[in-house]
Amino acid sequence: MKNESPILTWLSYISLLVFSVICILPFFLLISASLTDQNSIVANGYSFLPKVFSTSAYEYLFMRGNDIIRAYGISVFITVFGTCSGLVITLLMAYPLARTETPHRGLIMFFIFFSMLFSGGLVPTYLIYAQLLDLKNTIWALVIPGLLTNGYYIMMMRIFMQGSISKDLIESAQIDGAGEYRVLWSIIIPTSTPILAVIGLFTAIMYWNDWQNGMIYITKPELFSIQNLLQRIMQDIQFITNNMGANASGALQQMPSDTVKMAIAVLGSLPILIAYPFFQKFFIKGIMFGAVKG
Amino acid sequence: MNQVSMPTDSSVIPKKKKKKYNYRKYSPLLIMMIPGFLYILINNYLPMFGIVIAFKEINFAKGILQSDWIGLANFKYLFQTSDAYIITRNTILYNVVFIIAGTVLSFITALMLIEIKNKFLLRTYQAIISMPHLISWVILSYLVYAFLSAENGLLNRTILPMLGIEGDISWYTEAKYWPVILTLVDFWKGVGYGSIVFFAALLGINEEYYEAARIDGASRWKQITGITLPLVVPVIIVMTLLKLGRIFYSDFGLFYQVTLNSGALFETTATIDTYVFNGLTGGGNMGMSAAAGFYQSIVGFILVITVNYLVRRKDKESALF
């Protein structure tokens, strides 16, 4: 390989290494800060290596962990329920649009497409969901507004299906007496698993990370998702103690507040960081698929 | 990432000739679409009609329909203050920086990724640099806080003393630093993700071109400037144009969560989205916020249409519609 350029290659390796380190360092700081002794934080601030190691922040959270566990539960519920129902809705919308025989296909496509171009904005959306549908302070306010499906996902799935569906296969199945639902279930879904996985993954990440719906529609702390709990704690660390009721002032005194803040953020990001190595391949494939088709 | 290429085939444009549809046979296909249709109707179309509240005095007791019409009063208030100017300027300037510098950085990163021939390393790099994209803005606000906290932050307690700078900086109340901070945060979160998108485009270039160039003795650098750039630049221009169509919309989480919605930073961190949101959640004026939302929807829509027209003239295939 005499016309390969070793300098360029080495430069790439090193730059990417530096970039990767920059991507990881902030997490490192967060974890290290959560494992440092509170007094040491007051003396030295957050740092990359704990000067005095301590797990007291986690012990504290463990002792008063009800709020965190409930918030986790809510996040898991909306993620699982929202992803499953969103995926079904997207699939049922995308498949007929991938079939050229569907009546009024062009019109419906325009209907979806226009929804991607023009948006009413936040205030009218809020009024629809809060006033008209009365979803305020219900768990459905975390599931329904904005997240179930969108034109982009429907179009992405439709394009994938148009490329993978075999018309002959559908016709021969129908000659054998299979109805449309049967065709969808036994032919379309099995051939569409890659796109279902990608869109399911993107939807799940959206649900897990969503804090906006919670902030707009939820005021009851019992319905806070993990993101909303984290956000409240960032505004006011005493939220943890106040909300626990009894013996609040005593608890506040013992609380290593600077490290607890970091520890709870670690707990909030842990699920995604642990799961990431397992789904990263799909995640990257998904980004690339969106790019190529986009 | 809203660029879905609509097929330019005739299926999109309703045919002039009246088509006889076989409703009976295809009714299951239509029934399937009901949930999605209803959802988009409620989630996207009903709010579109709701933008008329910008012309009303919002009164929750009376409800939306019964509220009194007040004409352009909300807009007058909005444009009389300097708010309208500040939020428009911030939204557009940040977007311009993010789009241009972000695209360049992502593209350079993608070129570097292509150089990595070791499969395992390539996958590891890709996974690590796209990971920040996965983190919610709330968690991100904690990561930034660990650096910027006035009392305990790494910058005030470790880095500034190391550089010999005396005295703490109260980051969350000093507006002048935030254009830099927000740009860095945006790059940290988005460049790796963006590079994967370009990487996919680069992989699409036919290997034979490079083969031929190598036989002719072209250096790797020559290959990049002679083959890669000419083939990829049109794609980049189109993608950038499409992003420019969304220049009136900001990444809400970045400007709201990362700044901890600190009022002292309004001058350099308020965007149309944060302004509307603060108006809605009580930090501002609901009528003005509805007016700002209306302004964003309409101008945003005009921009998307214009940009698409430009893209269409340049490259019909890449246009949205």
Rounded to the nearest angstrom, the gap between the alpha carbon of residue B29 and the centroid of all alpha carbons in its chain is 34
- B272 and B159 both lie in a single domain: yes
Which of B13-22, B194-203, B252-261 comes out lowest in average pLDDT?
B13-22
Contact A262 B142 (CB under 8 A): yes
Q: Could you name the CATH architecture of A65-235? A: Orthogonal Bundle (1.10)
Query: What's the Rg (C-alpha) of chain B?
Result: 25
Q: Which tokens is B198 given?
A: 């370009």
In a domain? residue B11: no
Mean pLDDT estimate for chain B: 85
In a domain? residue B306: yes
The answer for A 9-28 residues in CB contact with B (under 8 A) is: 9, 11-13, 15-16, 19-20, 22-24, 26-27
Contact B137 A15 (CB under 8 A): no
- CA pair distance B301, B307, nearest whole angstrom: 10
Q: B114 CB contacts (<8 Å, ≥6 apart)?
A: B199, B202, B203
Residue B125 has pLDDT above 60, yes or no: yes
pLDDT at site B1: 39
Report the run of H or E that residue A100 belongs to, with start and end.
Answer: none
A181 near B CB under 8 A: yes
Could you tell me what percent of chain B has a pLDDT over 90? 40
Which residues form the domain of B298?
73-318
Q: Which tokens is A69 given?
A: 């566990």
Residues of A in contact with B37 (CB under 8 A): 93, 108, 111
Within 10 Å of residue B247's Cβ, how many Cβ atoms?
Answer: 20
- B39 and B156 both lie in a single domain: no
In a domain? residue B52: yes
Pick from B203, B39, B149: which is nearest to A265 by CA?
Answer: B149
Query: What's the Rg (C-alpha) of chain A?
Result: 25
Structure-token match 């009218």, residue found: A124
pLDDT at site B5: 44
Q: How many domains does chain B have?
A: 2
The answer for B 254-273 residues in CB contact with A (under 8 A) is: 257, 260, 273
- B42 and B96 both lie in a single domain: no
In a domain? residue B20: no
Structure-token match 């919002």, residue found: B58
Mutation for testing the B interface, residue in A30, A46, A198, A279 having most B CBs under 10 Å: A46
Q: What ranges do the domains of chain A cover? A: 65-235
Contact B115 A41 (CB under 8 A): no
Within 10 Å of residue A202's Cβ, how many Cβ atoms?
Answer: 21
Structure-token match 């097929």, residue found: B7
Residue B172 has pLDDT above 80, yes or no: yes
pLDDT at site A50: 87
Contact B22 A101 (CB under 8 A): yes
- B82 and B153 both lie in a single domain: yes
User: What 8-state DSSP symbol labels residue A222?
Assistant: G
B38 near A CB under 8 A: no
* pTM, rounded to two decimals: 0.88
Tell me the residue ranges of DSSP E strands in A146-292. Answer: none
- B237 and B111 both lie in a single domain: yes
- B52 and B161 both lie in a single domain: no
What value of ipTM does the predicted structure carry?
Answer: 0.89
At residue B131 the predicted structure's pLDDT band, cuts being 50, 70 and 90, is very high
User: A79 with A207: CB under 8 angstroms?
Assistant: yes
How far from B131 is each of A34, A204, B105, B195, B248, CA to CA, in Å?
21, 15, 17, 12, 27
Within 10 Å of residue A7's Cβ, how many Cβ atoms?
Answer: 9
A236 near B CB under 8 A: no
Query: Considering CB atoms only, which of B37, B152, B305 is closest to A46?
Result: B152
Distance from CA of B279 to the nearest CA of A (A): 9
One digit per residue, pLDDT tens: chain A, 294 residues? 444 678 888 999 999 999 999 999 999 999 999 999 988 888 888 989 888 898 888 988 888 778 889 999 999 999 999 999 999 999 999 999 999 888 899 999 999 988 988 888 888 899 889 888 999 999 999 999 989 999 889 998 998 998 888 888 888 888 888 888 999 998 999 999 989 999 999 999 999 999 999 999 999 989 999 999 999 888 877 666 555 544 444 555 567 788 888 999 999 888 888 999 888 888 888 888 776 554
Query: Scanning every residue of chain B, which has its alpha carbon at the shortest distance from the alpha carbon of A267?
Result: B139
In a domain? residue B206: yes
CATH code for position B245: 1.10.3720.10
Q: How many CA atoms lie within 13 A of B112 on its CB side?
A: 25
Contact A20 B143 (CB under 8 A): no
Q: B1 CB contacts (<8 Å, ≥6 apart)?
A: A152, A290, A294, B197
- B41 and B172 both lie in a single domain: no
- B63 and B101 both lie in a single domain: no
Query: Considering CB atoms only, which of B63, B146, B201 is closest to A33?
Result: B146
- B62 and B84 both lie in a single domain: no
Residue B149 backbone zone (phi > 0: left; psi -120 to 50: alpha; other: beta)? beta
User: A277 with B124: CB under 8 angstroms?
Assistant: no
Q: Which tokens is A195 given?
A: 């796109």
In a domain? residue B108: yes
Residue B236 has pLDDT above 90, yes or no: no
- B97 and B38 both lie in a single domain: no
Q: Which tokens is B89 given?
A: 């300027």
At residue B2 the predicted structure's pLDDT band, cuts being 50, 70 and 90, is very low
- CA pair distance B155, B15, nearest whole angstrom: 63
Distance from CA of B176 to the nearest CA of A (A): 22
How far from A144 is each of A204, A214, A228, A238, CA to CA, in Å?
13, 11, 17, 31
- B201 and B306 both lie in a single domain: yes
HEC per residue, chain B: CCCCCCCCCCCCCCCCCCCCCCHHHHHHHHHHCHHHHHHHHHHHHHHHHHHHHHHECCCCCCCCCCCCECCCHHHHHHHHCCHHHHHHHHHHHHHHHHHHHHHHHHHHHHHHHHHCCCHHHHHHHHHHHHHHHHCCHHHHHHHHHHHHCCCCCHHHHHHHHHCCCCCCCCHHHCHHHHHHHHHHHHHHHHHHHHHHHHHHHHHCCCHHHHHHHHHCCCCHHHHHHHHHHHHHHHHHHHHHHHHHCCCCCCCHHHHHCCCCCCHHHHHHHCCHHHHHHHHHCCCCCHHHHHHHHHHHHHHHHHHHHHHHHHHHHHCHHHCCC
Residue B59 backbone zone (phi > 0: left; psi -120 to 50: alpha; other: beta)? beta
Distance from CA of B113 to the nearest CA of A (A): 7
- CA pair distance A178, A176, nearest whole angstrom: 6
